[in-house]
Amino acid sequence: MLTCNQASQLISQSLDCPLTLTKRIQLRLHLVICDACRHFKKQVTLLQAALIRLREHTESDPSITLPEAAKNRIRQQLASK
Ligand SMILES: [Zn+2]
């Protein structure tokens, strides 16, 4: 049986790529018995949907842009890593 930590990792992974059949079954079994992980999965799914809607909104509105100063700060932070 998965621990809650393992289940939450699988929930997060499932957002990026499909899980193997074995992992999907393990996760479903855990979710049947664990309210906390079911709640976590619901919250993560809602957050993902909100981010998709936000991306769609910002991509369709050319007036929404990141200021050049902010872009430069991000570039500097990435370069320093
Ligand atoms: Zn759990």
Going from the Cα of 63 to the center of ligand 1, the distance in angstroms, rounded, reads 43
Mean pLDDT in residue range 26-38: 97
* Percent of the chain topping pLDDT 70: 100
Q: What is the pLDDT of residue 23?
A: 97
Integer Cα distance of 59 and 8 in angstroms:
30
Residue (of 49, 38, 57) closest to 15 by Cα position: 49
Share the mean pLDDT of the chain.
93
Q: Is 60 helix (H, G, I), strand (E, B) or coil?
A: helix
Going from the Cα of 34 to the center of ligand 1, the distance in angstroms, rounded, reads 5
Q: How confident is the model at residue 60 (pLDDT cuts 50, 70, 90)?
A: confident
pTM: 0.71
Integer Cα distance of 54 and 9 in angstroms:
24
The yes-or-no verdict on residue 81 having pLDDT over 80 is no
Q: Which amino acid is at 5?
A: N
